[in-house]
Amino acid sequence: MGRRASAAAETLRNASADDRTDAIKAMAAAIRRHADAILSANARDMAGATAHHDRLRLDEDRLEAIAAALETVSGLPDPVGEEMARWQRPNGLDIARVRVPIGVIGMIYESRPNVTADAAAICVRSGNAIILRSGSEALQSSLAIHAALAEGLAEATLPEDAVQIIPTADRAAVGTLLGGLNGAVDLIIPRGGRSLVERVSKDARVPVLGHLEGVCHTYVHESADPDMAVAIVRNAKLRRVSVCGATETVLIDRAAATRLLPLIAAALQGCELRGDAESRAVTPMAEAGEADWHTEYLAPVLSVRTVAGLDEAVHHIARYGTGHTEAIVASDAAAAEQFLDRVDSAMVMWNASTQFADGGEFGFGAEIGIATGRLHARGPVGPEQLTTFKYMVRGTGQVRA
């Protein structure tokens, strides 16, 4: 499997951008053509599933959305071969830094069948081969989607091996993939719950791009516009509570707490609040314990802490944050710029909801995940982030002194 992926990666890398575009379009068409087979495979998965029913379920509308997403990816700019920089040296050497695909990506995910198609399309767009490892609950759906994708690739001029899937639910296969398949796998991307990502990060012998969890913060500065603070906190927490960019903790300036906290609490109907003593003195709510500041609830629960000011907010985030996304709501531009500067998360925002932490919202067209490590790519990982570069040096016979 690794050898076939490496060979396919070389073909993909040397294919033209149009070849890759045509292949993704053919993949979309094949998904539509095989809708019946995919939906009946999904029905078998649903019959065997014990949980995650909504994430797992496909219907005609969702399948059409998957095909449409592939078409979107087919229309994204192709990053391969892009000249990122070019300069001349005094000795006449001409040096260009040029984007190239990473190579072979191993994708390990859980129960969302659409990831099979999305990840494959983003990898083909960026010239990478992919080896998919679907969660067992979604395996029949993933296999059926993969069969369609492979047919699409074969119809176009690209090798079917560019998109492979591990055909069993055998857990040992994950270990083999994490081992890198004898050097064939260049990067692992895990997408799923904390336990999956932890296992991948611990056992992988090749680089990993992903995030363990998103304990995201929204800091309401004393200069915040009240209406904006309420609207942003409500959206950051409640738009979708299960996404990694959802705010889990609100920090609020002491000077603004009495004025703003009651308004914020009133706007968060249906959301459990857990606060420190000062917040509770202003607005009745449950008591937050030390564990709350560390918790990614992914649920309608929000921890609330009063801070003395920007310094304390920045320190709280440095201590409890996970480097994902943090926002400040402030009218004071100098304070906001300080926050943007000092908070060292992948995404820092001023007067915007943390739920904008998303490749689509960033304009990347699609994302294969979000990374919170410090190397290679941080934040949303789209086609461009799945490339690396090489240097092309053009000379006229230069030798080194």
The residues binding its own copies (CB under 8 A) are 10, 13-14, 81, 87, 89, 93, 95, 100, 102-103, 186-187, 207, 225, 228, 231-232, 234-236, 239, 318, 336, 340-342, 344-353, 355-356, 361-363, 373-376, 378-379, 388-400
Query: Smallest distance, Å, CB 107 to its own copies?
Result: 16
Q: What Å distances lie between residue 162 and 10, 23, 27, 81, 192, CA to CA?
A: 9, 11, 12, 19, 23
Residue 196 CA to residue 212 CA, distance in Å, equals 9
Instruction: Return the half-sphere exposure (C-beta side, CA atoms, 13 A cut-off) of residue 188.
Output: 28
Residues 6+ apart with CB under 8 A from 90: none
**Which alpha helices (DSSP H) does 163-309 contain, by range?**
172-178, 194-203, 226-238, 254-267, 277-282, 290-294
Distance of closest approach, residue 173 Cβ to its own copies, in angstroms: 23
Instruction: Please report how close the Cβ of residue 117 comes to its own copies at its closest, in angstroms.
Output: 24
| Least separation in angstroms between CB 233 and its own copies | 10
C-alpha span between 162 and 120 (Å, rounded) = 9
How are strands ordered across the β-sheet holding 325-329?
286-287, 272-275, 301-307, 247-253, 216-220, 325-329
Q: Which is nearer to its own copies, 228 or 263 (CB)?
A: 228
At which residue do the structure tokens 């091996």 appear? 161
Residue 335 C-beta: closest distance to its own copies, Å = 13
Between 140 and 353, whose beta carbon lies closer to its own copies? 353
CA angle 12–17–21, rounded 5-degree value: 90
- Rank residues 232 and 285 by Cβ distance to its own copies and give the closer one: 232
Give the separation between CA 55 and CA 271, rounded to whole angstroms: 22
3-state secondary structure (DSSP) of residue 157: coil
Q: Smallest distance, Å, CB 397 to its own copies?
A: 4
CB 275 within 8 A of CB 303: yes
Q: Which is nearer to its own copies, 29 or 233 (CB)?
A: 233
* Residue 313 near residue 249, CB atoms below 8 Å: no
| Strand intervals (E) in 112-215 | 129-133, 163-165, 187-191
| Shortest distance, position 389 Cβ to its own copies, whole Å | 6
Smaller CB separation from its own copies, 71 or 344: 344
Q: Of 149 and 188, which CB lies nearer to its own copies in the complex structure?
A: 188
Least gap, CB of 394 to its own copies (angstroms): 5
Q: How far is the CB of 396 from its own copies (least distance, A)?
A: 6
Closer Cβ to its own copies, 149 or 335, answer by number: 335
Assign 308 to helix, strand or coil: coil
Nearer to its own copies, 53 or 374 (CB): 374
Q: Of 71 and 225, which CB lies nearer to its own copies in the complex structure?
A: 225
What is the 3-class SS of 51-92, one letter each residue? Answer: CCHHHHCCCHHHHHHHHHHHHHHHCCCCCCCCEEEEEECCCC
Smallest distance, Å, CB 363 to its own copies? Answer: 6
Of 155 and 362, which has the nearer Cβ to its own copies? 362
User: By three-state DSSP, how is residue 353 classified?
Assistant: coil
Q: Does residue 383 sit in helix, strand or coil?
A: coil
